[in-house]
Amino acid sequence: MTPGGYFFGVCAVVAVLGALATISARNPIRGAMGLLATIVGIAGMYVQLSAQFLAAIQLIVYAGAVVVLFVFVIMLLGPDAHGADGGKRPGSWARWIAAPLVSVLLLGGAVLLARVSTPQRFRAAPPGHGTIEAVGGDVFGRALVPFELSTALLIVAAVGAIAIARSRATKPSERPASVGATRRLFGGAIHPRDARTVDDEVAR
Amino acid sequence: MGLTGYLLLAAALFSLGVFGVVTRRNAIGVLASVELMANAVNLNLVAFSRHHAGPTGQVFALFSIALTVAEVVVGLALVLLLFRAKGDVRIELASELKD
Amino acid sequence: MTNDPWLRALLEGAAVVTALMTAVAWITWLERKIAGRIQSRLGPTMVGPFGLLQPLADAVKSMQKESIVPRDADALLFWLAPPLTLALALGTAAVIPFSPGLLASDVDIGVLYALALSGLLSFPIWIAGWASNNKYSLLGGMRMVAQGISYEIPMVLSALVPVVLAGTLSMGGVVRHQAEHGWFVVSAPGVGFVAFLVFLLTALAEGNRIPFDIPEAESELVAGPTTEYTAIQWSLFAAAEYAHSLLASAIAATLFLGGWDGPVLPPAVWMVLKTGALFLLITWLRWSLLRLRSDQLMSLCWKLLVPLTLLLLLGAGTWVTLAT
């Protein structure tokens, strides 16, 4: 096995373990950290696919912005953000049959296709593949219109998110005093694991 | 390491993401699982870009990243709104059209 | 030398990390000496001549102390945070050109890579604050993230000014351009100099140094995210902070002060001199200034620095267009 193969293996293990943590963690912060691991693993693969520019973008945008956003929202919600998984709910058994079925079918299909087709090896990358010149030339050449549209989309998304997050339901007077955001964040449990005990004490 | 390895890994990540979307009841968990699926797709795009030795796949992945960011921003704002309206972030609470 | 690129990369990386950690150790000595002089004290004097062996004594001390993990902490994340912080802080060194031939990797996205790692640095510190299960740690960690992602924007924008002026994202390319056309801090009238000041300021904020050390404000938050840390793990955080300050100085020297470019002396010496001068400046600021309040910090960033750097970027673009 080549060093490149080992590198791929390490990145793959990190990415898959992170993904498992993301979908299974009870604690949403652990879930977000799993997502971070997956993102970093995939950034490593981008480097190996000689897409250095995309790897840097992946780190800046996904790890630096998206995961931070997740973390901020989780902190904003406090301990109530977790504990929602598990428990009885209508039709939940159907999900637990459907989910593994879909996943196994997807993965099984992929493995089957990989077995029957001839393994594809990469040719040597042409010089300049994945550099900022190559990607930038395409973005500001053929893809100029979608690029400008995507900037509009981002602005609209930012404005929309602000509009949604501060809509009329947020009047402080309508919020029950006992679940004030400040208490949830710092007057209550600092660590989601303590949420139950602290809330019990408050109830008493 | 060839194309096949990357495609298999992307498939694995995508199926894990599907599993998460279907089974998680926490709206934040569902959004995180959607992120997993988007990342798996991006990995496919970049791997094929390398396979065809052209930049198109990477440009596509770039746009896909921008789209995902817009999606996650609005999605998390909706989660905040759901939490304010219902006091919880279980996704099935969002199934009613009127509060 | 071996021809295997992976083995070479490993060896070079090990060499750079060893050199950096040695530098970091004696920089703590330097800082304590300067701090002492500024406050009319002597600083370390007991261990070795001029207290020069103090860093070794400190290292031995912190290694034989007991590492305590608080009972209700998230043990896994608590253990992971310090080494992650140090790794991210040291990772930047890979793209810094110390002399024309001495550069671990001259990738074409060097500047972007350094900024990406710098932006990620607030993450492990936040993890530390969260995993400690201590309200002071958590408050400090949240301040760290808020400050980190806010100041990342003017930092990236001000670092883009030399990138626009030089027309390349490679660190080596930026220095080569300056060696031919003059340092950016003086060329492109005004624009380069203001961008340099903004970059230094944001680097201070990213590394949470005074006047921006709000995350670990010891008068209100004990020690912020590192409150629960002891022994070698605490030392890792301290080393990461110094390494970040040092590397931020090196990046500022590379982007704005011409890196290894200079007359008479060999290039590597110039690089070390410039980095050292900037680090001394940071230290001097640390022991002279007061701490900002959180809201002052945010309004400085969003109301002044972000619009200012956008204007600078516009100015740099105009300058390049006019010059060609």
- DSSP letters for C225-250: GGTT--HHHHHHHHHHHHHHHHHHHH
Residue of B nearest to A137 (CA): B55
Would an 8 Å CB–CB cutoff place A53 in contact with chain C?
yes
> In a mutagenesis test of the A interface, which of B21, B30, B31, B36 is the best target, namely the one with the most A β-carbons within 10 Å?
B36
Indicate whether B44 belongs to any domain. yes
Minimum distance, in Å, between the CA of residue B38 and any CA atom of chain A = 11
Chain A residue numbers with beta carbons less than 8 Å from the beta carbon of C91 are none
**Nearest CB partner across the interface for A29, out of C6, C117, C130:** C130
DSSP line for C24-36 = HHHHHHHHHHHHH
Chain B residue numbers with beta carbons less than 8 Å from the beta carbon of A19 are 12-13, 16-17, 36
Query: What average pLDDT is seen over chain C?
Result: 80
**If residue B63 lies in a helix (H) or strand (E), which one and from where to where?**
helix B56-86
Indicate whether B73 belongs to any domain. yes
A187: amino acid identity, one letter: G
Q: Which domain holds residue B48?
A: 3-86
Chain C residue numbers with beta carbons less than 8 Å from the beta carbon of A72 are 145
Would an 8 Å CB–CB cutoff place A95 in contact with chain C?
no
List Cβ neighbours of C121 (8 Å cut-off, separation of 6 or more).
C85, C88, C89, C148, C206, C207, C244
* A48: its two tokens: 């190996």
What is the pLDDT at residue B40? 92
What is the pLDDT at residue B26? 81
**Nearest CB partner across the interface for C116, out of A64, A131, A190:** A64
Instruction: Over range C127-135, report the average pLDDT.
Output: 80
Neighbours of chain B (3+ CB pairs under 8 A): A
Cβ–Cβ below 8 Å for B59 and A100: no
Query: What average pLDDT is seen over chain A?
Result: 74
pLDDT higher than threshold 80 for residue B2:
no
Tell me the per-residue pLDDT of A50-61, one tens digit each, with 9 for 90 and over. 888 888 888 888
**Nearest CB partner across the interface for A126, out of B17, B26, B53:** B53
Cβ–Cβ below 8 Å for B3 and A20: no
Minimum distance, in Å, between the CA of residue A64 and any CA atom of chain B = 11
Would an 8 Å CB–CB cutoff place A125 in contact with chain B?
yes
Indicate whether B93 belongs to any domain. no
Q: pLDDT grade, residue B39 (50/70/90)? A: very high
Residue of B nearest to A66 (CA): B69
User: In Å, how far from its chain's centre is CA C176?
Assistant: 23
Q: Which of A39-53, A135-149, C101-115 has the lowest mean pLDDT?
A: C101-115
Percent above pLDDT 90 for chain C: 1
Instruction: Over range A153-165, report the average pLDDT.
Output: 87
Tell me the per-residue pLDDT of A11-46, one tens digit each, with 9 for 90 and over. 889 999 999 888 887 778 888 888 988 998 998 888
What is the pLDDT at residue A202? 52
pLDDT higher than threshold 80 for residue C158:
yes
Chain A residue numbers with beta carbons less than 8 Å from the beta carbon of B59 are 135, 138-139, 143
State the Cα–Cα distance between residues C74 and C114, nearest whole angstrom. 30
C109: amino acid identity, one letter: I
Number of domains, chain B: 1
> What is the pTM (predicted TM-score) of this model?
0.80
Cβ–Cβ below 8 Å for A129 and B22: no
Q: Exposed, middle or buried: residue C317 (CB in 10 Å: 0-12, 13-18, 19+)?
A: middle
Tell me the per-residue pLDDT of C262-290, one tens digit each, with 9 for 90 and over. 777 777 788 888 888 888 888 888 777 77
Chains A and C touch each other (3 or more Cβ pairs < 8 A): yes
Q: Between chain A and chain C, how many beta carbons pairs sit less than 8 Å apart?
A: 67
State the Cα–Cα distance between residues C88 and B71, nearest whole angstrom. 28
Q: pLDDT grade, residue C106 (50/70/90)? A: low
* C28: its two tokens: 């703590």
Instruction: Over range B34-49, report the average pLDDT.
Output: 90
Q: What is the rounded end-to-end Cα distance, in angstroms, of chain C? A: 43
Q: For position B61, which CATH number holds?
A: 1.10.287.3510
pLDDT higher than threshold 80 for residue A114:
no
Count of beta carbons in the 10 Å neighbourhood of residue A108: 12
**Nearest CB partner across the interface for A20, out of B16, B43, B77:** B16
Chain A residue numbers with beta carbons less than 8 Å from the beta carbon of B32 are 22-23, 31-32, 34-35, 70
Cβ–Cβ below 8 Å for B55 and A134: yes
List Cβ neighbours of C177 (8 Å cut-off, separation of 6 or more).
C165, C166, C167, C168
**Nearest CB partner across the interface for A52, out of C7, C107, C149:** C107
